[in-house]
Structure 1
Amino acid sequence: MDALDRLAEPGLDLLARVDTLLAAGAPEGHPLWPLLRRMQVLPGEAVREFLDLHPAPLAGAGHAVRQLVRGYDDTCAMLADPVAWSGPAAAAYEDARAALLRHLDEGPESLVGRLESTAGYADALADWVEGSRLALARALAEVLRSAEAVMVHSAGPTGAEGDRSGALAAAEIATRVLGVLGVAYDGAETLLREWAPSLAETTWRDRVAGVLQHGGTTRIDH
């Protein structure tokens, strides 16, 4: 359980009240409007969805992907063993073997390279979730002890004349919370742009085909 989990219950209670007040409309010209248009969600619902994001499963996925590399390493070691034969068939086999080794584990576009990139992306996402949850926890801690929180709790029924101050306070709280979430989502989009080239599907890289000679002699060394 992290700081966000500990603040979830009182935070969601406050944000439910904020959502109720904002359902009647935010104050005209308030900075909250651009955030609402962008996020398309009220702060209470946004935080509830974000609470389901945890870094541990992503970190575990990165570890699991790295474990797969061992299998490729074993296969490459077998392919790298010298063969005790020579001749045209042996040369063709050597050509195919070299191409397969290159496809399996040679550079970032190989299968192992893509696995390592996938694991790195999972680690980066885990760090992003952890940092974003901490930032959101700090924002909730601030709004929970703010004067605006007191005004939201004491606001009258929606639409009442004395509710204008409550609506303004709700808009201020929503702006802080959605602002933090907006920064978090910007970070996720940045990660995807940065990692996308390394996560592209790998393809077979054709080797330069040699001339296969037929009718030659195959020799097997003892």
Structure 2
Amino acid sequence: MDRLDQVLDSALPLLRRAEEVLEAAGAPPGHPVWAQLRRVRLMPADAALAVAELRPSALVEAEPELRADARVCVEIAAALPPPDEWEGEAADAYDDLRRRAATHLSGDHDSLDERFEASADLAAALHDWMTRARDNLAAVLAEALTSAEALTLASPASLPPGAAEIEAAAGLTAHILQTVATDYAEAEDLLLGSQQLADPLPL
């Protein structure tokens, strides 16, 4: 259990309250919350729950396993026996195949070992990103729980919501969603930079 797990249950009622106000009255025209809603396309409670679903622990073992696979490729490539005293067309064909197999296993950036290493780098980067995203949201939620907006939204609800409630709900929502959006933009950059991992290796 990390800090986000500890604070999320306490923060969800506040986020749901902010949602109720915005759903009932909307946000002031031109308020920054509109831009954040367009970026995230989720209300604050659902956005927080989406971040809470990130499990960096699931990637802890991926990096060392992928690097171990890369080392196996290098070892196998180095162990492929040359034809030695074997001569003739068959020996030449075998040696050509052996060299191509070795290069496929361990060689340039298109080799299997390099693909494993790049996948390990991505797994490590995603683990770190998930950890940061959870930590960042936890800090923002803890701040929100003691904010002036939280005090305003904790007051007895008025129907329709008053101007102070609307402004508090919009400000709190914008702050939460901006944090989520910023972290998810980083993840998009990571995945965009790793698109080549989805390409098949040339044979």
TM-score, with normalisation over the residues of structure 1?
A: 0.84
| Alignment correspondent of 1:219 | none
Q: CA deviation at 1:196?
A: 2.2
The amino acid of 1:87's aligned partner reads G
How big is each residue's C-alpha offset from its partner over 1:80-128, in whole Å with a ceiling of 9 and x where there is no partner?
A: 4564412221111101100111111102211111111111101101111
The amino acid of 2:180's aligned partner reads L
Q: CA deviation at 1:35?
A: 0.9
| Alignment correspondent of 1:29 | 30
Alignment of 1:1-222 (within 5 A): 1-24=1-24, 25-80=26-81, 83-160=84-161, 163-197=162-196, 200-204=199-203
- Checking the alignment, whether the CA contact within 8 Å between 1:18 and 1:44 is kept in structure 2 is no
Query: Hey, what's the Cα distance between the residues in 1 that align with 2:63 and 2:13?
Result: 35
The amino acid of 1:169's aligned partner reads A
Equivalent residue of 1:23, what SS? Answer: helix
- Checking the alignment, whether the CA contact within 8 Å between 2:27 and 2:166 is kept in structure 1 is yes
Query: Hey, what's the Cα distance between the residues in 1 that align with 2:93 and 2:163?
Result: 82
Query: Hey, what's the Cα distance between the residues in 2 that align with 1:76 and 1:21?
Result: 64
- Checking the alignment, whether the CA contact within 8 Å between 2:62 and 2:120 is kept in structure 1 is yes
- Checking the alignment, whether the CA contact within 8 Å between 1:118 and 1:199 is kept in structure 2 is no
The amino acid of 2:42's aligned partner reads V
How big is each residue's C-alpha offset from its partner over 1:32-66, in whole Å with a ceiling of 9 and x where there is no partner?
A: 00111221110111101110102111232223322
Equivalent residue of 2:193, what SS? Answer: helix
The amino acid of 1:5's aligned partner reads D
Structure 1 184/158 Cα, relative in aligned 2: closer, same or farther at 3 Å?
farther
Structure 1 201/143 Cα, relative in aligned 2: closer, same or farther at 3 Å?
same
**Which shows bigger deviation, 70-79 or 175-184?**
70-79
Q: CA deviation at 1:199?
A: 5.0
- Checking the alignment, whether the CA contact within 8 Å between 1:117 and 1:199 is kept in structure 2 is no
- Checking the alignment, whether the CA contact within 8 Å between 1:66 and 1:115 is kept in structure 2 is yes
- Checking the alignment, whether the CA contact within 8 Å between 1:20 and 1:158 is kept in structure 2 is no
- Checking the alignment, whether the CA contact within 8 Å between 1:114 and 1:199 is kept in structure 2 is no
- Checking the alignment, whether the CA contact within 8 Å between 1:21 and 1:158 is kept in structure 2 is no
The amino acid of 2:7's aligned partner reads L
RMSD, matched Cα: 1.7
Q: Percent identity?
A: 36
Structure 2 residue runs without a partner (length 5+) = none
Q: CA deviation at 1:74?
A: 4.0
- Checking the alignment, whether the CA contact within 8 Å between 1:26 and 1:171 is kept in structure 2 is yes
Structure 1 194/155 Cα, relative in aligned 2: closer, same or farther at 3 Å?
farther
